[in-house]
Structure 1
Amino acid sequence: MQKVQLDLPIVLPDLLDEQDACIQLLLADLNDKKGIVEAHIKEQVPLQLCVHYEPALISLAKVEEIAHKSGTKITQRYQHLLIRVKKVRHQRHARQLEHKLTAIPGVMTAMISVPGTLRLEWDSEQIGEQELRQKVKQLGLRIAPATKPQYHPSPTPVQHHHEADDDHDHSGINFLGEHTELYLAIGSGIAWLSGFILSFLEGMPPGLLIGLFSVGILCGGYFTLLEAIGAIRQGKFEIDFLMLVAAAGAAALGKWGEAALLLFLFSLGHALEHYAMNRARKSISALADLAPPVALVRRDGKTVEVPIEDLEVGAIIVVKPNSKIAADGIIIKGFSSVNQAPITGESVPVDKRPIEHPENDIVLENVPAEHRAFAGTINGSSVLEIKVLRATHDSTLARLITLVKEAETQKSPTQLFADKFERYYVPVVLGVVVLLLFAFLVIDETFADSFYRAMAVLIAASPCALAISTPSAVLAGVARAARQGVLIKGGRPLEDLGNLTAVAFDKTGTLTEGRPRLTHALPYENAAREDLLVAAAAVEALSDHPLAKAIVEGVKKELGDREIPPAEQLEALIARGVKAQMNNETVHIGNRRLLEEITGAPVPQALDQQMKDLEDGGHTAMIIHRGDHYLGIIAVMDTARPEAKATLAALKKIGIRRMIMLTGDNQQVAEAVAAEIGITDPLGSLLPEDKVAAIERLKAEEGKVAMVGDGVNDAPAMAKSTVGIAMGAAGSDVALETADIALMADKLDNLPFAIALSRKAKQIIKQNLVISLGMVVVLVPLTVMGIAEIGPAVIAHEGSTLVVVLNALRLLGFNNK
């Protein structure tokens, strides 16, 4: 596995030495990240941050992002860029390009995905961006507009461009349109099949059969020849060249039919490989077309059309019915339902309404979902006016596009293994083939026999299926997840998620609503329930405490239009409760201690028992006393999400044995919530560092564990987990950037889907590896011993490539229901 060592000059205001707290925080954050082997400080002036990392698993952009969040500035010596490129022909070609680019002085990392995303990291003191772009073009690639990671201090606006012609020219000539290669492969197959059938008829002229097989060879070998010539020009003898040699050798020996069959199946495999990769690419790049090219902006009482790149924060845009929303912002006018499926994967449109006081300073992440709008979502049947709070290049959609493109370039552990295996495997195969060419010198056979067997072994041992087995499945899995509103950042988390048997959850905001609700109102003796609720709401309406707000909202919901008389003279009683005046009577709301103080007697046993029962259940209970008598008890609680119980049941059904809840609430509350929704291991009274320790302990016990949270205060625990999963990432910068996997909607429902998809992807990857390697293991000995000839070897080997590609494509239609 490739590793890069990076010496980054870092800048901190008033930095004293390497023991500075900010530096220690930065090192801790970096060393927690998957893909970083080691991060340490070199004692130089300025201080040097030395990072050893694996670029296939983590990017320089991510390293800079972590430093930026720690308050550390990294000098601009090291640059990084995501470039959309065309003419990446297949997985082997992508690897060749990576090796050529990393050989350029100053280039530290080059990762290319077959769909056409190139991630470059380079030392700007050795090579400039324009020179590097020129080098990329010299390798035969065509550059489309690019975007830098969106947390960059000077981000470049996202370029929305049409990439339909990406498919047209992977080899340069497409005289029959974008499917030329497929048409030629089919033509080759028809010619071969015609010759094969006619060969069984008596009296067929040999010239006619050779002519048909020659047509099959020419059609099947056209693109193969172009690719072989391109590789030879770069000093490489790739599989395409070897297949041509094998076909030419078979034809020279009079095996015209076998030569035509070889090139037909080889070209068909290539055509299907390109089709599979393009399906995945189109599914991912369709994100870029979600946002409309222009927006209607309200200016001076008029509506004008403006390109979305020119939208400014604070602008008011008008969104007509059934049209796309152009920017992230808040609803300031209009009521409508918005289809958020393109961003969050939610199947049901979300009702939107205006926010109160839109003129205030508003942080979009803190705005409730009913007031918030995302670029790329689709308005319903009513006109909306939206105040833009994020520039186009910084919208959720723009960041999602960037992260998905970067995810394309991240390799999975299985893919890294396959790449490494192939590097050693191919030279060994070529060595064996060369030896077999001279077998006639050792054993009693002709040179023609030795040559024929060597060609058969070459075909049988070629790693075509191995090269495509993992990346095709990873790309299809990432694309399918993105369509469901699940962002999987590369192959590693896709594979790791499928291995889990334990998942840890933050409680507040993840398993629960994240805000308290009124759950009980229990009148005492002859008191009326309505009197209890009115007294509670009147007093708590004067308070700004979160529990007070929950009580007022709960009472209003139950009493409807009933008018609540005003209370006055609210007084907070430290550690006991509150009191206020209502209708010339004093109302006290608080704990047992408060009521014992004002009555001079213990709380009645019945009330005390009710309080205890509620507290045992995890509720926060308060006694209400008016005048000289008790009205009863009210209780509030951060209630479980409606989907939490069903989600945990679904996780259990798919084999998650342990579901752990981590919370700062006391153990009693943790156990009460756990019992309600089905948590197996409730862990309460935890500080943030305790959550990290809990994750480390769980990893030791289970091997691998996922952490599900909101990506803010859960970030340290998520970093320690095998897979960090963020909830509600569509509304949170931190959640979107922190996690390995981001559930874009603020719902748990997609978690079972993500795990099931990962397991399916892992299953398909294993199947593909067994098919590709198994075919080699079986065929090579058979061809070496002369048992299998070129024909069966071609059918078995190239057939396995087709099976691998089609097997990977199944992930695009995955559904766990």
Structure 2
Amino acid sequence: MKDHQDGAHGGHQFLGKNTELYFAVLCGVFLLVAFLIEMFSQLSFALALTGYSIAYFFGAYFIVIEASKKIIKGGFDIDFLMIAAAAGAAYIGSWAEGALLLFLFSLGHALEHYAMNKAKKSIEALGNLSPKTALVKKGDQLEDVAIEALQLKDIIVVKPNTKIAADGVIVSGSSTVNQAPITGESMPVDKTYLQDTKDLPSFIDIDKKHVVFAGTINGDHSIEVLVLKLTKDSTVSRLVKMVSEVETQKSPTQRLTKKFEKWYVPLVILLVVLLCFAYLVVDETFSESLYRAITVLVAASPCALAISTPSAVLSGVARAAQDGVLIKGGRALEDLGEITTIAFDKTGTLTEGKPKLTNILPLGNFDEVELARLVLEVENLSNHPLAKAIASDLKTKYKIDSQNKATNVNAIQGKGITATYENHKVSIGNATLMESSEITISEKTRLEMNALLKNGHTAMLVAYKQEIVGLVSVMDLPRKTAVDTLKRLKAIGIKRMIMLTGDHQNVGDAIAKQIGLTEAKGNLLPEDKVDAIKTLIKRDKKIAMVGDGVNDAPAMALSTVSIAMGAAGSDVALETADVALMSDKIENLPFVISLSRESKRIIKQNIAISLGVVGLLVPVTILGLTNIGVAVAFHEGSTIVVVLNALRLLRYKSI
């Protein structure tokens, strides 16, 4: 198929990238017009013949190009057989049958190639992650340099809210970095500078709070980064390499088709040639032998076989699209039905993808509303993503707004925030912040905080007048539909559902327990996810991977079927994926798997019908027990049956 695709798009794009499809449609139009003229008008047959000839041109154009390329290399495939069958039909005056063969075959090919160049697009989307230039510090000057020209040990300046241009270690400044494009972590991560950079360990061994990756997004503060990896070795470049390597691997279906063509086509050609000389051993004329040979050629042309899979695929894809699911091709549609293990990314796939306020617990003299107001006044003045999430949710939940009573706000990197509220100090942050401010944390409070942390929450203590007065926690919450979706997946035979996440193992375990996953694997970088997928494939043979971010791309590309969350997904995840849930509804997953199973069943039926008819017609026509009219009637009848059977998928009901 790939070779034919290349031929269709290699310098013959008269009408744009869908030229092959337009040619197939034009073939059908001229075939219909010519047939109507021949059957229902008194016009000259020459006019109908002109219509058939034009139909032949449009139907055979790309098939002839491809067949000629193969013949030059000494190969004969189904393309050649279809051209020979159409030419033979024309030779004995069966123009309509020949044009119909070409129309159905060219339409099948065109539809198969409609969505193409997936690998190329996915690599381009990955490449766009990194900025094109970086600000390099040279003495007191800043110089704009192309990222390809960056050298090891260069120091680059990353301004607030811009993409980081290289993998490296922070040597000046502190900031919050959104690492979701690379690690998939739901929460932005606090980063700070490394004081001693003289004897650095290997990149992977440097404390993660000092390390940044190319393609991640800096927060509100400027930082300086010592470049430790050249652009070609950066994390993003590795992702590009992983995707390109996996995408170039041929599917088993492609290899099987090639094997079939290798023996079937030469066998039919040999049989037809031998039948041309049947008059030497049978009491008939050369004309009768030629007629028999051409009848066999038409009967043996695998037209129904050629259209059986594309028609079912097209119907399945169209039905999925009605429910907001994009399926890219037949392999994904077939393979998805055999899946019993699904790996999920966490952030944006099983969860909402953004932090939400989960708890506000008064521990001192404050009641809940008073504590909420205190926290709001302080967090409302911070630009930290968690502070913004807390402030927004407090306003919504408690119907309150800031009265600007807090002053002297000071963000302390990696610890939290301090401020003055009604002439007294307020501290909101982790235990380290409290201890550094000599605020006592009771054992009960520690237990409550640890319980929240263990269950996947990001928890913060609130202190006022040097006393702990409350606990606040946020979490990236599971999607409301996640529990029901996983139950339905289990009901249709999905045995194992595994979460792969860049978040802490505690977070993964907590989410897994809440929504009913089989297991969770945390603290995973992109290459770790790839290793996890390889392990799952060894155990379960075929697996699906559901993801939404760039960090999922290599693992998705390696999986048997990759499924991207649409609205929440990155461009690269969508381009790499075989299936995209366009409306961002994970609840569509059970439906599309069931549809895939039904599609596969219909494809098997279609192949059985088409091969059965060919298997019946070939011996009957060889023995001369039927004429070309009956052969074409059965031949095209099987094609119609196959197409109608495939169209049943359009009425498939969602489970």
TM above 0.5, yes or no, is: yes
* Other structure's SS at 1:618 match: coil
Q: Confirm or deny: 8 A CA contact 2:52 2:96 kept in the other structure.
A: no
Distance 1:726 1:165 in 2: 30
Match for residue 557 of structure 1 among 384, 390, 396 = 396
* Other structure's SS at 2:442 match: coil
Aligned to 2:469: 631
Q: Confirm or deny: 8 A CA contact 1:540 1:548 kept in the other structure.
A: yes
* Other structure's SS at 1:143 match: coil
Map 1:280-679 onto structure 2 (within 5 A): 414=253, 417-418=256-257, 421-422=260-261, 424-439=263-278, 441-442=280-281, 454=293, 457-475=296-314, 477=316, 486-524=325-363, 527-564=366-403, 566-572=405-411, 577-592=416-431, 603-605=442-444, 607-627=445-465, 629-679=467-517
* Other structure's SS at 1:668 match: helix
- How many Å apart are 1:711 and its aligned residue? 3.7
Map 1:157-168 onto structure 2 (within 5 A): none
Aligned to 1:689: 527
Map 1:42-441 onto structure 2 (within 5 A): 110-112=6-8, 119-120=9-10, 136=12, 143-145=14-16, 169-170=26-27, 179-182=29-32, 184-185=34-35, 223=52, 227=56, 238-244=84-90, 414=253, 417-418=256-257, 421-422=260-261, 424-439=263-278, 441=280
Q: Confirm or deny: 8 A CA contact 2:372 2:394 kept in the other structure.
A: yes
- How many Å apart are 1:803 and its aligned residue? 2.0
Q: Confirm or deny: 8 A CA contact 2:108 2:306 kept in the other structure.
A: no
Q: Confirm or deny: 8 A CA contact 2:56 2:102 kept in the other structure.
A: no
Deviations 1:604-651 (A, max 9, x none): 52x344334322321122232323654332211111223333443443
Aligned to 2:642: 804
Q: Confirm or deny: 8 A CA contact 1:470 1:765 kept in the other structure.
A: yes
* Other structure's SS at 1:243 match: helix
Distance 1:637 1:714 in 2: 21
Relative to 1, partners in 2 of residues 1:181 and 1:575: Cα closer, same or farther, differing over 3 Å?
closer
* Other structure's SS at 2:456 match: coil
Percent identical residues: 48
Q: Which amino acid aligns with 1:586?
A: K
* Other structure's SS at 2:550 match: coil
Q: Which amino acid aligns with 2:407?
A: E
* Other structure's SS at 2:7 match: strand
Distance 1:694 1:736 in 2: 21
Higher mean C-alpha displacement, 581-590 vs 467-476: 467-476
- How many Å apart are 1:530 and its aligned residue? 0.6
Distance 2:26 2:558 in 1: 44
Aligned to 1:315: none
Q: Which amino acid aligns with 1:669?
A: V
Q: Confirm or deny: 8 A CA contact 2:498 2:517 kept in the other structure.
A: yes
Aligned to 1:44: none
Relative to 1, partners in 2 of residues 1:276 and 1:812: Cα closer, same or farther, differing over 3 Å?
farther
- How many Å apart are 1:190 and its aligned residue? 8.2
Deviations 1:495-539 (A, max 9, x none): 444443322222123222222110112223764111121122222
Match for residue 700 of structure 1 among 530, 538, 561 = 538
Relative to 1, partners in 2 of residues 1:738 and 1:807: Cα closer, same or farther, differing over 3 Å?
same
Q: Confirm or deny: 8 A CA contact 2:602 2:645 kept in the other structure.
A: yes
- How many Å apart are 1:712 and its aligned residue? 1.9
- How many Å apart are 1:582 and its aligned residue? 1.3
- How many Å apart are 1:491 and its aligned residue? 4.2
Distance 2:38 2:258 in 1: 31
Are 1:714 and 2:552 an aligned pair?
Answer: yes
- How many Å apart are 1:228 and its aligned residue? 8.8
Q: Confirm or deny: 8 A CA contact 1:265 1:795 kept in the other structure.
A: no
Deviations 1:50-93 (A, max 9, x none): xxxxx55xxxxxxxxxxxxxxxxxxxxxxxxxxxxxxxxxxxxx
Distance 1:709 1:806 in 2: 35
Distance 2:578 2:642 in 1: 27
Match for residue 780 of structure 1 among 618, 634, 643 = 618
Deviations 1:411-449 (A, max 9, x none): 975466446534542332232234345456556888898
Q: Which amino acid aligns with 1:528?
A: D
Aligned residues: 509
Distance 2:408 2:521 in 1: 41
Distance 1:230 1:665 in 2: 54
Q: Confirm or deny: 8 A CA contact 1:283 1:479 kept in the other structure.
A: no
Point out where structure 2 has 5 or more consecutive residues left out of the alignment. Answer: 69-79, 117-215, 218-246
Q: Confirm or deny: 8 A CA contact 1:412 1:495 kept in the other structure.
A: no
Higher mean C-alpha displacement, 456-465 vs 724-733: 724-733
Q: Which amino acid aligns with 2:89?
A: M
Distance 1:589 1:568 in 2: 14
Higher mean C-alpha displacement, 266-275 vs 661-670: 266-275
Relative to 1, partners in 2 of residues 1:423 and 1:596: Cα closer, same or farther, differing over 3 Å?
closer
* Other structure's SS at 1:543 match: coil
Deviations 1:209-266 (A, max 9, x none): xxx9xx9999799727973999799997621122345x56xxxxxxxxxxxxx77666
Relative to 1, partners in 2 of residues 1:641 and 1:562: Cα closer, same or farther, differing over 3 Å?
same
Deviations 1:769-793 (A, max 9, x none): 2222222223333444566665654
Q: Which amino acid aligns with 1:144?
A: L
Relative to 1, partners in 2 of residues 1:784 and 1:146: Cα closer, same or farther, differing over 3 Å?
closer
Q: Which amino acid aligns with 1:223?
A: Y
Distance 2:407 2:384 in 1: 16
Deviations 1:693-743 (A, max 9, x none): 111111211222233323422233233333333334687443444444444
Distance 2:322 2:251 in 1: 20
Relative to 1, partners in 2 of residues 1:470 and 1:280: Cα closer, same or farther, differing over 3 Å?
closer
Distance 1:266 1:146 in 2: 27
Aligned to 1:341: none
Distance 1:709 1:225 in 2: 48
- How many Å apart are 1:810 and its aligned residue? 4.7
* Other structure's SS at 1:504 match: strand
Deviations 1:437-495 (A, max 9, x none): 54565568888986676555344322222233334444555566566654544444444
Distance 1:777 1:515 in 2: 59
Relative to 1, partners in 2 of residues 1:706 and 1:443: Cα closer, same or farther, differing over 3 Å?
same
Q: Which amino acid aligns with 2:473?
A: A
* Other structure's SS at 1:816 match: coil
- How many Å apart are 1:655 and its aligned residue? 3.6
TM-score, reference length from structure 1? 0.52
Q: Which amino acid aligns with 1:462?
A: S
Q: Which amino acid aligns with 2:543?
A: V
Deviations 1:638-696 (A, max 9, x none): 11223333443443344433222111222221111112223222111223322121111
